[in-house]
Chain A
Amino acid sequence: MEISQPVLFTIPLFSGIPVSRTVVVTWIIMAVIILLSLISTRNWKTVPKGIQNFVEMVIDGLNSFTKTALGSHWKTFTPYLGTIAIFLIIANIIGIFGIKPPTSDLSMTAAMAVMSIIVVIIASIKAKGVKGYVKSFFKPMPVIFPMKILELFIRPLSLAARLFGNIIAAFLIMEIISKMVPIILPAVCSLYFDLFDGLLQMIIFVFLTMLYIQEAVE
Chain B
Amino acid sequence: MNLMAIGIGMVAFSCLGAGLGLGYATARAVEAVSRQPEAHGSIMQLLLLGGALCEATAIYGLLIAFLMIFFMK
The residues of B that contact A207 with a CB separation of less than 8 Å are 48-49, 52
The residues of A that contact B52 with a CB separation of less than 8 Å are 162, 200, 204, 207-208
A52 at the interface (CB under 8 A from B): no
Q: Which of B4-12, B22-30, B58-66 contacts A (4 or more CB under 8 A)?
A: B58-66
A191 at the interface (CB under 8 A from B): no
The residues of B that contact A165 with a CB separation of less than 8 Å are 56, 59-60, 62-63
Assembly CA distance A4 to B70 (angstroms): 9
Assembly CA distance A162 to B57 (angstroms): 9
Assembly CA distance A207 to B70 (angstroms): 32
Assembly CA distance A162 to B66 (angstroms): 14
A166 at the interface (CB under 8 A from B): yes
A36 at the interface (CB under 8 A from B): no
Q: Judge whether A3 and B59 touch: CB under 8 Å.
A: no
- Chain A: CB-nearest residue to B69: A3
Q: How many residues of B contact A (CB 8 A)?
A: 10
The residues of A that contact B59 with a CB separation of less than 8 Å are 161-162, 165-166, 169
CB under 8 Å from chain B, chain A span 161-216: 161-162, 164-166, 168-169, 172, 200, 203-204, 207-208, 211
A158 at the interface (CB under 8 A from B): yes
Assembly CA distance A9 to B52 (angstroms): 37
Q: Judge whether A168 and B56 touch: CB under 8 Å.
A: no
The residues of A that contact B70 with a CB separation of less than 8 Å are 3-4
CB under 8 Å from chain A, chain B span 34-49: 48-49
- Chain B: CB-nearest residue to A211: B49
Q: Judge whether B56 and A158 touch: CB under 8 Å.
A: yes
The residues of B that contact A169 with a CB separation of less than 8 Å are 59, 62, 66
Assembly CA distance A89 to B60 (angstroms): 22
Q: Judge whether B49 and A168 touch: CB under 8 Å.
A: no
- A205 vs chain B, min Cβ distance (A): 9
* 10 pairs of residues in contact across A and B, judged by CB atoms under 8 Å: A4-B70, A161-B56, A161-B63, A165-B59, A165-B60, A165-B62, A166-B59, A169-B66, A200-B52, A208-B49
A: residues with CB less than 8 A from B are: 3-4, 158, 161-162, 164-166, 168-169, 172, 200, 203-204, 207-208, 211
13 new A-B contacts at CB < 8 Å, known A165-B60, A169-B62, A204-B52: A3-B70, A4-B70, A161-B60, A164-B63, A165-B56, A165-B59, A166-B59, A168-B63, A169-B59, A203-B48, A207-B48, A208-B49, A211-B49
B: residues with CB less than 8 A from A are: 48-49, 52, 56, 59-60, 62-63, 66, 70
3 tightest CB-CB pairs across the interface, nearest first? A165-B59, A204-B52, A165-B63
